Structure 1
Amino acid sequence: MIPLLLLLLVSFTSCGAQNAAADEITNLPGVTFNTNFKQYSGYLNANPQGTWKLHYWLVESQGNAATDPLILWLNGGPGCSSVGGMFEELGPFYPERDGNSLYENVFSWNKVANVLFLESPIGVGFSYDTSNASNVMTDDDTVANQNYLALIDFFTNVQPAYANRTFYITGESYAGIYLPTLAQLLVQGINNGSFPYKNFQGMAIGNGYMNVKYLTNSLVLWSNYHGLIALEDWERIKMFCCNNQDVDKCNFYSHLNTSDNLNFVSDGSVCGNYVYQTLTDQSPPWPQNQDPYNFYQDCYAPLPTTSTSSPMINFIKSHPNIAATSPHGTASILWYDSTDSQRGFSCWNGGATYHYLNTQLVQAALHINSSWQNTVKTWHGCNGPIYGSYKVKYSDTTSLFQYIINNVKIPNFRILVYNGDVDTICNYLGDSWHIRDLASSSNMKSQPRTPWTFRNQIAGYVQRYTGQSSLTIDVLTVKGAGHFVPNDRPGPALQMIANFIGNIANYSTATGIDVTPQGPPPITGTTPSTTMTTTTTTITTTTVTTGAGAASSSFLLVAISAVLLKKLF
């Protein structure tokens, strides 16, 4: 692989330098607050021929853009958009329910870093193959090479001001494979000189798809201990799957069959049938309206049509004591159609994002290529054909991590594996088992598992592994979060990532971030639209759709058919 990458680099860097100013977004439609940061949108070359175009969106830091580190963010799928993650999780803009305007995410990760959202692989979002717009065939190694070459183009030609910046790679779900494969190439390229940007400092993986066997086994246990399995069925599972031995060590995964390491079925045994039934939506225990991404999320339908930024909401935000002075103050802002704190945002944000990004004025502001508009035509949060034809190579990423640990020469290199603890897609327990075994095989020592806090409340738990070098691996849970941690627990997620990139071992530290942000005032004379363009949201364990026809909160699918993941197309 090394000679090939050297050849690609020589061919690739001969391209003419681009002007970053040409990619600057100067007038993003629908923004309802004053921004204090620059942002850029354009294309990065992902092959030497320049026919594979990966769309990027860079939002500069609201802190010190000139010195703050760079964070690359990748959503998973395989086949889902990181720009979807930007609008629905950790970016500075959240769409209103009508999809016509944007309000501020006050816990955006660009509060502490420059964040690069890369739509990967080819065929996702605004990314495409100029020679074959229907190109969707890809695999783990191809995606890694695309991302690697796109980063070279970013640092060399498109945004050379970032060439010497400390940078991290982050993402979630199937990015549990995207990131280690990319990190392996980066470590390899830095060591042999083919990747000239040496300030790669670490990676953070959220709810990662890293070990299919462990995810399967842990989800059976999690399902039982969260009340999804009848006592009688649990006794039968222990009998037929574990021979009444230690259930924590039972290999449920061995009773499933697969041809592609994405879709799994029962092997026909009694145990396989029980496991399939337990983890699938084809029969109980999964009810039709159970959200697999967040066990405690509710999305009642139909949703009210009130805007989340109505004049009353803005007024109450600016008058925090309104509840004490008016008997109707608190009642006027209660949200009865969802149990989350964001007024049902995760129930409808996918449709709103779909509507916004398919607006011609928005695509013009983002410098979307006319050839994409003429061939692909429509932005989608996830690309179903990519998922359907995807080739999985690394159902167990241990060897990738071992390569990184054994070969990285960067001082204080660090890895963070974080999980929302109520996600039933990529379970915290399976990821914890994976890292435990990895640390053991690498002769790393474990420190005690301790709680961490946000605003003096328990935000989760964390355990650190250390090796003979300065490399560390932190395994962290975020209390009450599901698959989309920055959306479900935005404040704790921002504090977590700030401490990670700041090399602060104590994740309870709030230095450098505002844990009680108020947000900026609206732009003078601007009133957010309250007209609904998506009127209903229907959620089942197999399908999440909106009136706009897009998947809601589905931009990172890892699917184990009806087993590990309830597919959202």
Structure 2
Amino acid sequence: MFRSLLGVACLLATVFCQQENDLIKDLPGLLFKANFKSYSGYVDANANGTWKMHYMLTESRSNPDTDPLLVWFNGGPGCSSLGGLFEELGPFYVNFDGETLYENPYAWNAKANVLYLESPIGVGYSYDTTTPGYFQANDNQTAGQNYLALTNFFKVAQPKYANRTFYLSGESYAGIYIPMLTDLIVQGINNATNPFPNKNFQGSAIGNGFMNVKGLLNALALWSAYHGRVSVQDWDNIKNNCTNNTDMDNFEFSKFTTSKNKIDYVGDDSYCGKLIQPLISQNADNTEGFDQYNFYQECYDKSVFQAPPPSASGKRVKRSALAGVSAIHKQYQQLGSFKGTSNLAQNTATLVNRFSNDNQFGYFCWNEDAVGKYLNSDKVQNALNIPQAWKDQKNGWEDCRMSIYNNYTLTYETTNQFFKSIITNLKTNFRFLIYNGDVDTVCNYLGDAKHIAQVAAENGLNTLSSRTPWYYSDNQQLAGFVQSYSGKNANGATIIIDVLTVKGAGHMVPYDRAGPSVQMISNFVWAANNAFVNYTSQANFNPNIQLSEMVGGSSTTISFLFAVSAVLLQLIL
């Protein structure tokens, strides 16, 4: 008996040691005292262990031992989920020095443990142990990698989460990843022979999802036409000569386009293709300057921020801000008359954001370079438990691995078949959240809304309401609109799909509308299993945020704008 107990104790100690080996003990440059643990490590993504998928886990600021787990995927394909962590929804934002971290008070780990998987293999710190610079990826392979990686997360890396309620989430090309992975997990949970290790799977959230490529393209033509990107004469010309005055809302504009990878489409050489081209990507002369990820987001000074317009080739363009980081640093040096945080309020005009039209110091315009510098630091990589084997391959960490994107061909033009399989095979209640920033031109809200309406119709789900507003904060600020579909399958499981817009947000909703986004996701993961979500509720997120205590300083309740200013001034002065 004693030997049996001793054996169990040793086994538990081994498991504990394995999961605590991934604990981040000292995150370089952290400027605030984090009241939560973070982990960084690897899980196997194939049977023989040659595919190593990197993960980071930021535990909940509330009750990490009982709060649900939210799994996050960035898209691309080829973009790192650490981009989501350090540029969007994570608790750490990188300063323009590329060396220090300030607090994102609107991080999604407010009431959830958030797991970031760098998928597929070859992205970020994830790697193939046998092939340096590995870049081979496709939809089916990625789904298999994600399934096995998540299996090993629950079994090996962090088994304390094996019985925890969990959800999938992600954005952009994760609109392909998540339905496919959701389908595999549902099948795995139903598999009595080799079951998925965690049966407490309750939902999936997809932000600005790439779920139906031609549907998005057709809707984008409409979105662009009614956002002033084409004259009324040219629009009439398209109606008269290309669509024969048929129903424009349901016209297949995609018939006049072409694509090499089935992801990026451009107008073909036909007369109508040339008319439609500026509606779906960029004018042929490449002179139309706006950020395709947020139609209303500007990085005003081109000489500083190098914000490129959408490519005429149709490819999504990543911005570069190599000069912008130093320019912002120079601007803040001009605030040198303020020698302490207590004096920040003497001249409010010094705090006016002159770099962009958001309230976060133009972070959108320069964060990729700052994050890249930070994550390519050797001391940061050591703190994140990145092995020498990855370093020896000399891949370097990149926000988006273009070798993967440039060699990727879409397999599934729509995700209808995966939604159908999920809805048919579910044995327990389940909910989807399909949310969109309403000014994104990469994956627009109209295309996703049309796609889910089609999914609902194909699977016998009922439309429960017309679009209704949802609100943020005590001031009842309009945050967007939501519509719900629901029904039961043959197994008696209730399926709910919420289609939600976030007003004024682009592709990166957690950054563009930080407060509403964390209220939205917290309400989603904390709603009762068979209940509809009240996205306006403040029961799961308090917008009156108490900032964390600064390293070497005292806590403060000043606004986020003043707090970030203080951090930046401390760095410079």
* TM norm. shorter chain > 0.5: yes
Query: Match of 2:501?
Result: 477
Between 131-140 and 297-306, report the one with greater CA deviation: 297-306
> How far does residue 410 in structure 1 lie from its aligned partner after superposition?
1.7
Cα distance change on mapping 1:62 and 1:200 into 2, 3 Å = same
Aligned twin of 1:348: 366
The answer as to 2:294 corresponding to 1:294 is yes
In the TM superposition, residue 528 of structure 1 has moved relative to its aligned partner by 5.3
**Runs of 5+ consecutive residues of structure 2 not aligned to the other structure:** 1-13, 305-326, 555-565
Query: Contact 2:519–2:540 at 8 Å: present in 1 too?
Result: no
What is the rounded CA distance, in whole Å, between the counterparts of 1:133 and 1:530 in structure 2?
Answer: 41
What is the match of residue 60 of structure 2? 61
Alignment root-mean-square deviation, CA: 2.3
1:515 aligned residue:
543
Corresponding position of 2:267: 266
Return 5+ residue gaps in structure 1 as ranges.
Answer: 1-15, 534-569
SS at match of 1:53: strand
Q: Residue in 1 aligned with 2:147?
A: 148
Other-structure match for 1:492: 516
Contact 1:97 1:532 in 2 (8 A): no
- Aligned-pair CA distance for 1:529: 6.7
Q: Does 263-272 or 56-65 show the bigger shift?
A: 263-272
Cα shift readout 1:374-404 (whole Å, capped 9, x = no counterpart): 1134100011111111131111111111111
Shift of 1:138: 1.2
Distance 1:101 1:136 in 2: 31
Tell me how far apart the structure 2 counterparts of residues 314 and 444 of structure 1 sit (CA, whole Å): 61
Partner of 1:248: 249
Q: Counterpart of 1:295 in structure 2: which amino acid?
A: F
Quick one: structure 1 residues 250 and 80, their matched pair in 2 at CA, closer, same or farther if it must change by over 3 Å?
same
Q: Can you list the C-alpha shifts for 1:137-196, whole angstroms capped at 9, x where unaligned?
A: 111010000010001111101111001000000000000000001001000010113213
AA aligned to 1:253 is S
For residues 512 and 435 of structure 1, what CA distance do their matches in structure 2 show?
27
Instruction: Render the CA deviation track for 1:224-277: whole Å, top value 9, x for unaligned.
Output: 111111222111111222111221121101111234312334333221221123
Distance in 1 between the 2:106 and 2:139 partners?
32
CA distance in 2, matches of 1:531, 1:376: 34
Q: Separation in 1 of the partners of 2:245 and 2:175? A: 33
Query: Residue 224 of structure 1 aligns with which residue?
Result: 225
Between the two proteins, what is the percent identity of the paired residues? 48
Q: 2:467–2:483: 8 Å Cα contact kept in structure 1?
A: yes
Out of 441, 458, 461, which is 1:441 matched to?
458
What is the CA–CA distance in structure 1 between the aligned matches of 2:339 and 2:505, rounded to whole Å?
27
The structural deviation recorded for 1:110 is 0.6
Note the alpha carbon deviations across 1:284-339, whole angstroms, 9 max, x for none: 6x74531110111111233432459x8999977x79xx86xx5x2x2121012211
Q: If the length of structure 1 is used for normalisation, what is the TM-score?
A: 0.85
The corresponding residue for 2:71 is: 72
- What's the secondary structure of 1:206's corresponding residue? strand
Contact conserved, 1:58 with 1:114, CA < 8 A, in 2?
yes
CA distance in 1, matches of 2:485, 2:110: 28
Paired residues of 2:85 and 2:116 also in contact (CA < 8 A): yes
Q: State the distance in 2 between where 1:498 and 1:366 align.
A: 27
CA contact (8 A) 1:241 1:251 kept: no
- Whether contact under 8 Å (2:523, 2:540) holds in the other structure is no
Q: Do the aligned residues in 2 keep the contact of 1:32 with 1:523 (CA within 8 Å)?
A: yes
For residues 332 and 126 of structure 1, what CA distance do their matches in structure 2 show?
39
TM-score, normalised relative to structure 2:
0.85
| 1:559 alignment partner in structure 2 | none
- Alignment CA distance shift 1:31-1:121 (3 Å): same
CA contact 1:72–1:168 (8 Å) conserved in 2: yes
Is the Cα–Cα contact under 8 Å of residues 220 and 279 in structure 1 kept in the other structure? yes
Q: Distance in 2 between matches of 1:390 and 1:73?
A: 21
1:387 pairs with 2:415: no
Number of aligned positions between the proteins = 509
